[in-house]
Amino acid sequence: MLIIPAYNESKNIPRLIESINALNEGYDILVVNDCSTDNTKNVCRELGVNTINLPANLGIGGAMQTGYKYAYYNNYDIAVQVDGDGQHNPIYIKDVIREVKSGYNMCIGSRFINKEGFQSTLMRRVGITYFNYLIKMLTGISITDPTSGFRAADKTTINLFRKYYPVDYPEPETVVLLKKNGLKIKEIPVIMNERLEGKSSIDSFKSIYYMIKVSVAILITAMSSYKEV
């Protein structure tokens, strides 16, 4: 199944759903509408997309955990996160799924392996490089795109994430969580698009706050005794 977290993505969701349906792969789609203040709820209804409309804004972490809970209780073997802003190209969904089917617990789509397509802003690239080094120092593995939200999770990971999922800017922390639980992660190259409509939740000022907050969360996760599998 595909989990699409969405906050104020009414202009991007139709294009994304159309491109997914054009693949004719029969993917089950779940949009988790994170209490959007725009027309996302009505757009999803008009598109006939399976949607969970959260009664309060939980942030990306809460939205994704909602999706993983849905995947777990509906007995899905694989859940793929595809962000609602349209940056993730659906043609690569089959590729991240293939790696999970081959035995990896999570596969992450990275824009930095082949360095093709939209490479994000300079400030974000600095933060991504920093998180790569921090994660490598703590876990021994190098993840070139630790902030990528384009990822496929197997049943073990779904079960882990439905019990615990970081709240804010969770992607780098989840990598450490998975490694702490002895799970296998792989990256594959993908080409991402630039957001066409709306704006990111992380601006230049928030980038500094983001790096500090996520760094602390990563260190706490690395040093904690929390293990589930």
Question: pLDDT tens across 62-103, in order?
Answer: 999 999 999 999 999 999 999 999 899 999 999 999 999 999
Residue 136 has pLDDT above 80, yes or no: yes
CA 27 to CA 57: how far, in whole Å?
26
pLDDT band with cut points at 50, 70 and 90 for residue 45: very high
Quote the Cα angle for 143-147-149, to 5°. Answer: 110
Calculate mean pLDDT across residues 140-162: 96
Per mean pLDDT, which range of 50-54, 101-105, 122-126, 151-155 is the poorest? 122-126
pLDDT tops 80 at residue 203: no
DSSP states along 20-48: HHTT-----EEEEE-S-SSSHHHHHHHHT
Alpha-carbon torsion (146, 133, 195, 25), positive or negative: negative
Q: Average per-residue pLDDT in the chain?
A: 90
Determine the Cα–Cα distance for residues 83 and 74; give it in Å rounded to an integer: 21
For the record, the structure tokens of 26 come out as: 């029969």
Q: How far apart are CA 203 and CA 210, in angstroms?
A: 10
User: What is the average per-residue pLDDT within 17-25?
Assistant: 97
Question: pLDDT at position 220, please?
Answer: 83
pLDDT of residue 122: 67
148: tokens are 């990528």
Is 60 exceeded by the pLDDT of residue 225?
no
Q: Is the pLDDT of residue 205 over 60?
A: no
Q: How far apart are CA 169 and CA 120, in angstroms?
A: 16
Q: What percent of the chain stands above pLDDT 70?
A: 90
Residue 24: pLDDT over 90: yes
Does 33 score more than 90 pLDDT? yes
State yes or no: pLDDT of 107 exceeds 90: yes
Q: Which of 37-41, 129-133, 211-215 has the lowest mean pLDDT?
A: 211-215
- What residues does 97 pair with on adjacent strands? none
Q: Are 4 and 82 in contact (CB under 8 A)?
A: yes
Residue 22: pLDDT over 60: yes
Task: Provide the pLDDT confidence category of residue 125 given band limits of 50, 70 and 90.
Answer: confident
pLDDT at 224 over 80: no
pLDDT of residue 212: 84
